[in-house]
Amino acid sequence: MFAKVTVDTPENADKARRQLNLIYINPTYFKYGRPVRICRYQITRESDDSDKNILVKNIHKSVNSRQFYEMFLEFGDIKSCKLEMDFFGSSKGYGYVYYQDEESADKAIEKLV
């Protein structure tokens, strides 16, 4: 399920993305709720984004999506962040972080390896 939300200012959009990303919103309609993922929308796509995207493995099963997001937010502006979950909402032990720039991805790798 997807939704598009228009925010009045870029500042409010960044605030919403940082504060609301990966929280659960009313999972009563579903047996197993999933966290909301808020990504930065970009019209043009660069030709090679592979240096901005990192795969993170061996994540402890107790880490949730929001904790995973906050762990990597300190290294730079995140376009997209996803912790892979099983059907029951438990971590599969790996996830992806896609940064705005290559420097942020390099910084995260350097500090966490």
Number of domains in the chain: 1
Q: Is 5 contained in some domain? A: no
Averaged pLDDT, 74-93: 87
Please, are residues 72 and 83 in contact by the beta-carbon 8 Å criterion?
Answer: no
Q: Is 15 contained in some domain? A: yes
Averaged pLDDT, 82-89: 84
Measure the CA–CA gap between 51 and 91, rounded to whole angstroms: 25
Averaged pLDDT, 85-96: 86
Measure the CA–CA gap between 26 and 30, rounded to whole angstroms: 9
- For residue 56, give the nearest of 40, 72, 70 by alpha carbon: 72
Mean pLDDT for the chain overall: 77
Measure the CA–CA gap between 58 and 26, rounded to whole angstroms: 30
What is the CATH number for 98? 3.30.70.330
Tens of pLDDT along 19-70? Answer: 776 666 555 544 555 565 555 555 455 556 677 888 888 888 888 888 999 9
**Which residue range(s) make up the domain with 83?**
10-112
Q: Is 56 contained in some domain? A: yes
Q: Is 1 contained in some domain? A: no
pTM to 2 decimal places: 0.62
